[in-house]
Structure 1
C-alpha cells in the first residue's frame, strides 16, 4: 500500500490532477456557465450543485496571441471552499486533484493534459492528453481516454489569470470514472513542499502562535493588518499573560492593571507582524493616555495551538504556511479540536526560525491528517 501510495503521490505532483467523476472527496468546485451550453455542472462532494459563476474572456491583442508560454506549468481547478489549501501541491494526497498541465508551448501550438487523482484513501487516477493550435485565445480539440474507454471534446479558453475548460463526452454509456464533464475554471497551482521540523522547532512555533487564538485576535487577510488589530493583540496577550511582560523590563508595570509604554506595542507588532502601530490610541480593552496603555489583568483559559503541517512556498522560499489545530481542554471530554487555521508566515532570517505573520485564515473544512499520516 505504501509503495502504491508513493507512486501515485509522485504522479500527482507531476501531473497535478481532483474530483473526476467520483465526487466523494471533492470540495465545492467552481464552474462557469455559457448561455449556449446545456452541459450540466459538476456536483460537489456532498452531491449538491456546484456554485456557478460567469466567466469573462480577456481581450487578446496580437502580442497576447503570441505569448502563451506564460501558461506553461500546472493549474488547479478553482473551488469555492478553502481554495488556497486546495491549490497547494503538497496537499494533493489529501484532497486529490483535477488539474491541467501545460507541457509544451510553441507560439500558438500547445501540448498538455488534464489529470484527475482521487483523494485519500483510494487515489484512483485518470489522464487525457491534448494538443492543438490556439485561435483567438481558444484551443478546441478532441481527446481519448484509453484507460477508461471514452472519448470527447474539450475547449480551453486562455484568459488573463485563468483557463476556462469546457469538456464533453461522446460515449453513449457514461464511464464510471474519468475526468469531469462540464465547464470549469482553472487557476495557478501553488507549488509547496513539506518542511520537516524537530520537536523543539515545533514547540517554539506553537509557543509563538499561541496568541493567535480566536479569544485574542481575529483572522485577517494579507495586507489588511490594522492598528486596531495590533493594539488589541498586544494588550490582550499581555493581560492574559500569554506574552511574557518581563521581557520588556520597566516599560511594563504590573499591578491591578498592567501599564505599558507604547514602545512595547511597537516591539510586539514588530516581533509578530514585522510592522508597527502608526497611530496609538485606546483599545477595546484598555485606555491610552500620555503614551501609555493601561489594561486590566485578565483570567481564563484559551485554546492552544498544535502544528499539523509546515509548508514552504517553492517559488518564494521565505514564505511558509502553517496548518494549525487549536485545541481546548474540556472537563469531561478531554482535548477537542475547536478550529483550524491556515497561517501565512514570512521567515525573516534563513539562519533562524524567526517568523512574522502575514495572514490568518480559518479553514472551513478542517483537514483530518489521520487519513494520510499512517
Structure 2
C-alpha cells in the first residue's frame, strides 16, 4: 500500500459529464482520500456534454490550456497518475504534465482506458508519430484494463512496466449474491442499455434492430439509460416508436440498482475499441446475459459461457442474435455471471490494487 508520506496527483477527466473514465478517476480520488492518503487532482475535462467529437480539433477544446495553470501541483506531489486520451491530441495535451514530472523526477503512470492507442499510433506518420511515441515513452509505467490490451503499450514500455488491472463496479450499486438471487426474474427476456447514447456505442443500430423486429411482430421489452449527446437527439423519437421501450434518462444509485435488477440481457453493440466497460461488469454482477461486440477488452471477460459476442455491430447482426435468445440460456448465463462477478470487481479492491501500483518504487 501507499505510505501516507507519498503524495499522489491524479490528472485526468472528472465528472461532469459522466463517462467510465471520469467515474474511475473520481472513485480513485475518493478511495485514496478515504484511506488517509494525501491526494490532489487536476481535472482536464473541458466539455460539459458528451459528444462524438473525439480526436477532432476545435478551438473550443483550447479551454484545456487553462489547466496548465495548475501544473505547479506536480512539484507538490511524489506520484503523478494520469489518464490521457488515445487520439493524437488526447495524448499530446498531457505532454507538459509528463515532461514536468520527468524534469522534477516524479514517478508517472499512464492508465489506458481503451484499446485505440495501437491503431492511432499505426495511422500516424512522420513528426506526429514521433511526438506521439515520445510522449507516451516519457511515462515510467502504464496500466491497462485486461491482458489483451497490453499490445497497445508494448511499443512504448517494457513488459514489466505494463500492468493489468481490471475495472470495478461502483460501491453504491453493489449487491450481495443472496439478495440478487431472491429478487432476480428470468420469466421473460428484458433488455437494458446503460451508456451514453452515442451512435458509436451502438444505440442507434440497437433501436433500428428492435424496430425491424417489431414490424415482424417480434417485441422485446427494453429500458434505456444514459445521457443523450447533442449530435444524437433524434434517438428519443426512435425510442418512442418502440411499443415496449422506455428511456429513463441518466440513472445512478437506487434507480440504477432497480434498472439492473429489472433487466436480464445487457446490450452493448459498440463500434468503439472499448477497454473493459464498467457497465458490463455491473451487468454481470446483476446476473445479465451479455450481448456485446467482440473487441479485445470485452472478449477477455465475455465468452460462450456468459453471453454472446457480435462479430459485426450492424442492424442485421443484432437482429439475428436477439432472435437466438432463449429464456433458458439467458437464465443460465446470467446466473453464471452473477456468481463469477460477485465481490470480484469491487470498488475497494480496485482502489487497493491501483494504490499498490502507485507505491511501487515511489
Q: Flag the structure with higher helix content.
A: 2
Q: Which of structures 1 and 2 has the bigger CA Rg? A: 1
Greater RCO, CA 8 A, separation 6+: 2
TM-score (norm 2): 0.25
TM-score (norm 1): 0.25
